[in-house]
């Protein structure tokens, strides 16, 4: 029973916290860039405003275009119930291990790309092809990083990985350091962050994610934006689970909950600060430098794997 409570709690927490995390990120970035921040609650206001607006369907689009925002949101919702962010061993967690989670994100991405192509505009197809390119390059790097963690803990289930790594308190794994670097680079690429994509641009030369969702408006846009925010939080959550797992509560253990929440807040604050610093310091790469970026990530992942085999750790 308590485990189910944790399940509901975590799912809702991730859904509701995602805009807050995005707001914190925006705020931190604005402060670092000498701009006046819009306030940490701005994403909530944006979402609410979008939800209240009229949704316009572009002429010549099919049901795919209309269904995709709901599907994106639903996919992220499901993922929010699986990733051990607040607690491990959630009742839903065995439904998908880390490979299936990657598959779930891929499913969402393919629908988003197809919806973009459904609009039949130059921007739509442009965003679609760039997104597929980035994804195709990023996935091997992501898997290399995840493989390192699963080889170390003899499991691909995120809960088991967390349990195993938590039990190895403060043991230093060189392989995991490389894997963490690779994972972080993939996180930037997959979530349309600088240096691969710029979430705050509408210039045709630079946009990837924005080009795909140009035709969405009103509640559809709200769902797409919200799903993107959840995805970022989930990726950060997976990163925390893999590389900084200390403090995640086992599901059902109510006593561990406050500590878990505290650690989670602390880690998210730190992760957001790191992201903001990176987005301030780096410029966006030219699109054709992006494969090099991903190749670097892949190499780091490979070094991680090899150092696991050579050092056994």
Partner 1 sequence: MTAVLPLDLAMAALLSWLGLGLLGFALGGYQTLACRAVFPLSTMGGLLLAAAGLWASTATPDVLQISGPFPVLPWSFRLDPLSGFFLILLGLLAAAVSVFATGYFRPLPAAALRRLFLQYQGFLLGMGLVLLADNAYTFLVAWEIMAIASYFLVVTEHEEEGSRRAGFLYLLIAHLGALAILLGFAVLAGVQILQGGSFAAMMQAQLSPFWASAAFLLTFFGFGAKAGLLPLHIWLPEAHPAAPAPVSALMSGAMLQTAFYGMLRVDFLFLPQAAEWWGPFVLLVGLASALFAVLFAAAQTDMKRLLAYSSMENMGLIMVAMGLALIFRAHGLNALAALALIAALYHALNHAFFKSLLFLGSGSVLHAAGTVAMDRLGGLIQRMPQTAFFMLVGVLAIAGLPPLNGFVSEWLLLQAFLLAPALPQSTLSAVLPLAASGVVLSAALAAYAMVKFYGISFLGQPRAHLPVHETGRWERSAMGLLAMACVALGLFPGVLIGLLDPVIREMVGQGLGQQGWLWLTPVSAQRASYSPVMFLFGIALALGVAFVLVWWRFGRPLRRAGVWACGFPLRTARMQDSPLGFVEPLLRIFRPVFQLRREALSTAAPRLGLQLGEPVTAYLYRPLAATAAWLSAQMVRLQQGRITVYLLYSFLTLLLLLALLR
Residues 269-298 that bind partner 1 (CB under 8 A): 287-288, 291, 298
Stretch that binds partner 1, among 23-31, 93-101, 181-189, 260-268 (CB under 8 A): 93-101
Shortest reach from residue 267's CB to partner 1, in Å = 26
Shortest reach from residue 188's CB to partner 1, in Å = 17
Following CA atoms 118, 120, 121, 124 in sequence, which dihedral angle do they give, to the nearest 10 degrees? 30
User: How far is 168 from 290, CA to CA, in rounded Å?
Assistant: 36
Binding to partner 1 by CB under 8 A, coded x per residue (else -) over 37-56, reads: --------------xx-xxx
Q: Find the binder of partner 1 among 9, 100, 261, 278 (CB under 8 A).
A: 100
Stretch that binds partner 1, among 32-40, 235-243, 251-259, 304-312 (CB under 8 A): 304-312
Within residues 174-213, the interface with partner 1 by CB under 8 A covers 202, 204
User: How far is 82 from 246, CA to CA, in rounded Å?
Assistant: 18
Comparison of 190 and 279: residue with beta carbon closer to partner 1: 190
Q: Which of 1, 9, 8, 4 is nearest to 260 (CA)?
A: 9
Q: Find the binder of partner 1 among 151, 273, 278, 285 (CB under 8 A).
A: 151
Asked whether 202 and 38 are in contact (CB, 8 A), the reply is no
Comparison of 120 and 258: residue with beta carbon closer to partner 1: 120
Comparison of 34 and 59: residue with beta carbon closer to partner 1: 59
By rule CB under 8 A, what count of residues binds partner 1?
81
Shortest reach from residue 46's CB to partner 1, in Å = 14
If one asks whether residue 155 binds partner 1 (CB under 8 A), the answer comes out as: yes
If one asks whether residue 149 binds partner 1 (CB under 8 A), the answer comes out as: no
Q: Which of 25, 57, 58, 18 is nearest to 40 (CA)?
A: 25
User: How far is 18 from 223, CA to CA, in rounded Å?
Assistant: 12
CA angle centred on 178, ends 174 and 182, rounded to 5° = 160
If one asks whether residue 301 binds partner 1 (CB under 8 A), the answer comes out as: yes
Within residues 218-237, the interface with partner 1 by CB under 8 A covers 218-219, 223
Comparison of 9 and 261: residue with beta carbon closer to partner 1: 9
Round to the nearest angstrom and report the end-to-end CA distance of the chain: 37
Within residues 60-79, the interface with partner 1 by CB under 8 A covers 60, 62, 64, 66, 70-71, 73-75, 77-78
If one asks whether residue 7 binds partner 1 (CB under 8 A), the answer comes out as: no
Structure letter (DSSP) for residue 86? S
b/e burial code for range 236-272 (CB count within 10 A of at least 16 → b): bbbbbbbbbbebbbbbbbeebbeebeebbeebbeebb
Phi and psi for 88 in degrees, rounded to 5?
Answer: -90, 175
Q: Find the binder of partner 1 among 3, 20, 133, 278 (CB under 8 A).
A: 133
Asked whether 228 and 54 are in contact (CB, 8 A), the reply is no
């Amino acid at each position: 029973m308590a485990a189910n409570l944790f399940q509901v709690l975590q799912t809702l927490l991730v859904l509701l916290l995602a805009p807050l995390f995005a707001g914190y990120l925006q705020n931190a970035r604005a402060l670092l860039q000498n701009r006046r921040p819009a306030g940490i609650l701005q994403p909530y206001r944006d979402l609410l405003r979008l939800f209240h607006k009229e949704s316009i369907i572009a002429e010549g689009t099919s049901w795919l275009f209309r269904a995709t925002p709901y599907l994106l949101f639903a996919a992220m919702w499901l993922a929010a119930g699986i990733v051990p962010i607040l607690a491990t061993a959630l009742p839903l967690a065995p439904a998908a291990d880390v490979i299936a989670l990657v598959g779930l994100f891929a499913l969402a991405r393919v629908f988003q790309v197809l919806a973009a192509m459904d609009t039949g505009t130059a921007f739509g197809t442009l965003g679609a092809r760039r997104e597929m390119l980035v994804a195709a390059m990023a996935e091997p790097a992501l898997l290399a990083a995840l493989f390192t963690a699963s080889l170390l803990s003899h499991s691909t289930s995120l809960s088991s990985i967390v349990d195993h790594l938590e039990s190895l308190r403060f043991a230093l794994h060189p392989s995991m350091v490389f894997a963490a670097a690779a994972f972080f680079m993939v996180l930037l690429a997959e979530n349309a962050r600088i240096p691969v994509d710029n979430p705050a641009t509408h210039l045709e030369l630079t946009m990837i994610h924005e080009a795909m969702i140009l035709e969405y408006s009103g509640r559809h846009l709200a769902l797409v934006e919200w799903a993107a925010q959840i995805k970022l939080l989930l990726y950060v959550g997976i990163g925390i689970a893999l590389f900084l797992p200390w403090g995640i509560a086992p599901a059902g253990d109510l006593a561990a909950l406050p500590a878990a929440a505290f650690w989670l807040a602390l880690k998210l604050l730190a992760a957001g600060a790191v992201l903001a610093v990176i987005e301030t310091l780096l410029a966006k790469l030219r699109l054709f430098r992006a494969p090099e970026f991903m190749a670097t990530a892949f190499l780091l992942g490979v070094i991680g794997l090899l150092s696991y085999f050579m050092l056994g750790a």
